[in-house]
Amino acid sequence: MAAPFVTLTLDTPNGSFVFSGAEVPENIPFGGAQLLDKHVMIGGRRRINALGADDIPLQWSGLFLFASAVPRARFLDSVRREGLQCTLSWDQLRYQVVIDQFRATYKYPFRVPYWISFEVIQDQTATVDSVPAVTPAQSLATDMARMGRFRIASVIRR
C-alpha cells in the first residue's frame, strides 16, 4: 500500500472524498501522448503539427474496509452515475476529472475491493518548464554507481 504521507483526494460537488489505508493505491500511472497532425511529403519530408496533450486515464484498484466499506463504494458509484466533474489530487499533481468506470465487488459488508478509472478533462498541475536540479544525494549515488562499474570493468580486463 501507499506511504502514509500520501494524501489522495477526490473533491466532488458533494464533498471531499479522501482515500485512506488500503484504499490508496501503491502507484498511479500518469502522462499520456501528444496528439500530432503528420503530413509526409514527396521525398520523405515531414511536417508535424502538435495539437495538444492526450492524457491517459488515471486508474487504480484498492480495498474498502470496515463498516464504511459499502457506503464509500456506493458514494463513488453515485459520482460515476451522475457524471460529476471532480478534482483529483495527490502530491504535486492535480486533475479535473470525471469517473469513467467504477467497479466494486461485494465480498462482505466490511471488505469491498474496487477498481476505478478517471478520464482527464484538464491537467491542472503547473507546467515544469525548467530542468529540476539533481540533489546532492542523487549526485553521490550516481558517482558511486559509476565507480562500481569502473572497478568491475577494470577487474574484468585484467
User: Which CATH number do you get for residue 42?
Assistant: 2.40.30
- The domain total for the chain is 1
Give the per-residue pLDDT at 131. 85
Which range of residues forms the domain containing residue 87?
8-132
Give the per-residue pLDDT at 129. 83
Does residue 151 lie in a domain region?
A: no
Q: Which residue has the higher pLDDT, 126 or 77?
A: 77
Question: Is the predicted pLDDT of residue 67 greater than 80, yes or no?
Answer: yes
Listing from the earlier edge strand, what are the strands of the sheet with 85-90? 15-19, 8-12, 85-90, 93-104, 111-123, 58-65
**This prediction's pTM:** 0.78
Does residue 142 lie in a domain region?
A: no
- Predicted confidence (pLDDT) per residue in 106-152, tens digit: 998 899 999 999 999 999 998 888 887 888 888 888 888 888 765 55
Mean residue pLDDT of the chain comes to 90
Unique residue bearing C-alpha cell 577494470: 154
Range of lowest pLDDT (27-36, 72-81, 123-132): 123-132
Mean local confidence (pLDDT), 6-32: 96
